[in-house]
Each structure stands twice: as C-alpha cells, then as structure tokens.
C-alpha cells in the first residue's frame, strides 16, 4: 500500500479519508508538520516564501489555491511541480463579473440609495441588451463570462494576446484594443497578470473608452494603473474586484469614486470548497497511480 503524506492549509476542508494517506494541517508559516511531505496544498493567498518552505519538505507537488500564479518564482527546485486551481474559481468569478456588470448597467447603486432614503423613484438605465461588450481575456474565467453573457443578447467582442479565428468566431489581439475600445458600452478584464498585461488598463486605455462606459476588472489589481482609474472615475463606471494595492487604504479615493468595489472575492463561494476538494483528490489519485499531476503550470 502506498503511503502518502499531504499537508493542507486550514483554508481548506479536504475529505481524504483514504487508507495509506496521512493528512496534516499546515499554516505554511510555522515549520512543516513532518520531515517529508508528498503534496502540499497551499492557502488561498500565496506568500513570497511559499515555494521555499514547501521545497524543504521534498514535496513533489505544490497545489495552489488560486488560478493565478504570478507570485510564484519560475526557478523551482528540482523535482517540484506547481499546479494552479483551474476548475475551482472560474464559475464563481464569472458570476461576480456578471453581478458587477449588471449592477453598473442597471444603475442599482441609484436604486439602493433611493431605498435607503425611502424614496420611490423610477428611472431608465443602459441595461445589457443590444450593448457591445469587450471581453479582454478568454481563458477559463473569460470563457465562463462569455457563456453567461450569451443569454443577455449582447454583442461580445473577444480579445486575447493573440488574434485568431476559433469555433465561436473572431478573437482580436491586444493590439486591436485602441480601435475597439471606443465602440464598447462595457469592458470586462479577465486576463492573467503577465509582463504583457501589467498596467494594460492605463490612461490611454481608459481615454479610449466612451463616457459612461463600464469597466469591470476581475483579473489582477496590477493589470490596471490605479492613478489612471482615479482620473477617469468621474466619467466611467468602475466595478473592481481587484485593486492595486490590496487592500486599498481606508481613505483611498476609489472607495468614493468607483461604482462598486468588492474585496477580491471573485472565487469566494461555497462551490470553491467542493471543487478544491475534487481537485486535490484527483492529484492524490494521480500521485498514487503514477499518472501526471493535472493543472501543472510550473516545474516538471
């Protein structure tokens, strides 16, 4: 019988009541709970020293709790693989993107303000039907957003790092954005943080958007230039799940100027725990059977 030792962050409740498997809790801040660990399941939020701590245990896999892995060094110790949490957060993040988009498009902040003041005041809003929405990023999260936009009868323009044709039609490239942005009623940003996407949403990007257009950012805070967001917040409707820095200082002007700010909770639903459970069980099963780990983004 194979003996497998797994260290899991208390962020997760993973059901691994399987013979031959030892499950240990580890906060990844204190010393490892065992001299040797086969699989380490990290906290939801990574820290700069995460790889170093895990490498000390001889682990074969560092399973992240996030889709993004921009904080993980590319020069990994020999024998260690890093897997992201693809399949865990996409659906929930797409839900929040849609909720934020609808909140802004239907002026629900206005309705909420009237409710608080006990005013009955009808109004018209832009809505989503017949609008043009640019979706920047069509990976797991972006594709999930596109699927949810379809029933709202919108014109979705998909943009990715590389332009191409696929089964759904045209995918434009990042270089096409200056021509595309003025046509958009809303822009939803769902790209990973890379060298090519850091500071993508800058003054030039925002200046190209028409007045009263909506910007939804469910990517990473550093994808947008914060000062540029503040500068354009009076003429654009900003719905931000991510910011730079995080958390925002209490007196930051975005709190007052943005239409909606949520505290990086895109993936935070009950489904996250069930899906993380399934992913970790899959990794353990593959380790025992000798099959490759899934979702490997760095390392062997």
Residue 230, pLDDT > 90, answer yes
Nearest to 201 by CA among 185, 211, 218, 37: 218
| Judgement on whether residues 78 and 105 belong to the same structural domain of the protein | no
| Judgement on whether residues 285 and 228 belong to the same structural domain of the protein | no
Q: Is 264 a catalytic residue?
A: yes
- Tell me the average pLDDT across 49-78: 92
User: How far is residue 69's CA from residue 188's CA, in Å, rounded to a whole number?
Assistant: 21
User: How far is residue 286's CA from residue 61's CA, in Å, rounded to a whole number?
Assistant: 11
Q: What is the dihedral of CA 92, 94, 100, 101, to 10 degrees?
A: -160
Strand order in the sheet with 186-189: 164-166, 169-173, 155-160, 132-136, 186-189, 214-217, 237-240, 260-261
Q: What percentage of the chain exceeds 90 in pLDDT?
A: 91
**Contact indicator for 154, 182 with CB cutoff of 8 Å:** no
Residue 293, pLDDT > 80, answer yes
User: How far is residue 73's CA from residue 68's CA, in Å, rounded to a whole number?
Assistant: 12
Nearest to 1 by CA among 16, 19, 24: 19
| Judgement on whether residues 77 and 116 belong to the same structural domain of the protein | no
| Judgement on whether residues 170 and 247 belong to the same structural domain of the protein | yes
The pLDDT-based confidence of 31 (bands split at 50, 70, 90) is: very high
| Judgement on whether residues 78 and 206 belong to the same structural domain of the protein | no
| Judgement on whether residues 153 and 223 belong to the same structural domain of the protein | yes
Residue 278, pLDDT > 80, answer yes
Report the Cα 131 to chain-centroid distance in Å: 24
Give the domain extent around 38. 4-88+269-298
Report the Cα 81 to chain-centroid distance in Å: 21
Q: Is 95 a catalytic residue?
A: no
| Domain harbouring 161, CATH code | 3.40.50.720
| Judgement on whether residues 94 and 234 belong to the same structural domain of the protein | yes
Q: What is the pLDDT of residue 45?
A: 84
DSSP state letters, 171-196: EEEGGGHHHHGGG-SEEEE-----TT
| Judgement on whether residues 123 and 241 belong to the same structural domain of the protein | yes
Q: What is the pLDDT of residue 14?
A: 85
- Tell me the average pLDDT across 64-72: 91
- Tell me the average pLDDT across 193-202: 96
| Judgement on whether residues 111 and 148 belong to the same structural domain of the protein | yes
How much is the mean pLDDT over the chain?
95
| Judgement on whether residues 57 and 97 belong to the same structural domain of the protein | no
Residue 20, pLDDT > 50, answer yes
pTM, full prediction: 0.93
- The residue from 161, 264, 278, 281 that is catalytic is 264
Residue 2, pLDDT > 70, answer no
Residue 1, pLDDT > 50, answer no
| Judgement on whether residues 103 and 60 belong to the same structural domain of the protein | no
- Tell me the average pLDDT across 75-104: 96
Q: What is the pLDDT of residue 284?
A: 94
- The residue from 89, 220, 232, 275 that is catalytic is 220
Residue 268, pLDDT > 90, answer yes
pLDDT tens per residue across span 125-149: 999 999 999 999 999 999 999 999 9
- The residue from 246, 256, 274, 300 that is catalytic is 246
User: How far is residue 271's CA from residue 269's CA, in Å, rounded to a whole number?
Assistant: 5
The total number of structural domains in the chain stands at 2
| Judgement on whether residues 23 and 76 belong to the same structural domain of the protein | yes
């Amino acid at each position: 019988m194979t003996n497998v030792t797994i260290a899991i962050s208390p962020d997760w409740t993973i059901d691994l009541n399987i013979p031959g498997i030892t499950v240990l809790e580890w906060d990844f801040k204190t010393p490892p709970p065992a001299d040797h660990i086969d699989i380490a399941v990290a906290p939801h939020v990574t820290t700069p020293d995460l790889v170093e701590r895990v490498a000390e245990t001889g682990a074969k896999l560092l399973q992240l709790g996030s889709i993004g892995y921009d904080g993980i060094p590319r020069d990994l110790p020999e024998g260690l693989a890093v897997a992201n949490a693809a399949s865990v957060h996409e659906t929930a993040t797409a839900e929040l993107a849609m909720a934020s988009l609808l909140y802004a498009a239907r002026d629900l902040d206005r309705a909420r303000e009237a409710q608080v003041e006990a005013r009955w005041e009808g109004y018209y809003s832009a809505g989503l039907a017949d609008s043009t929405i640019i979706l920047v990023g069509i990976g797991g999260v972006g594709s999930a957003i596109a699927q949810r936009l379809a029933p709202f009868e919108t014109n979705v323009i998909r943009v990715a790092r590389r332009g191409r044709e696929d089964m759904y039609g045209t995918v434009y490239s990042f270089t096409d954005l200056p021509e595309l942005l003025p046509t958009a009623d809303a822009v939803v940003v769902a790209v990973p943080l890379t060298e090519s996407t850091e500071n993508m949403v800058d003054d030039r990007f925002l200046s190209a958007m028409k007045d009263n257009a909506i910007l939804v950012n469910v990517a990473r805070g550093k994808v947008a230039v914060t000062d540029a967001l503040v500068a354009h917040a009076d003429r654009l409707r900003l719905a931000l799940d991510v910011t730079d820095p995080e958390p925002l200082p209490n007196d930051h002007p975005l709190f007052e100027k943005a239409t909606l700010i949520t505290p990086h909770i895109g993936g935070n639903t009950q489904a996250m725990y069930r899906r993380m459970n399934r992913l970790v069980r899959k990794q353990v099963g593959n380790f025992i059977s000798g099959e490759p780990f899934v979702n490997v983004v760095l390392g062997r």
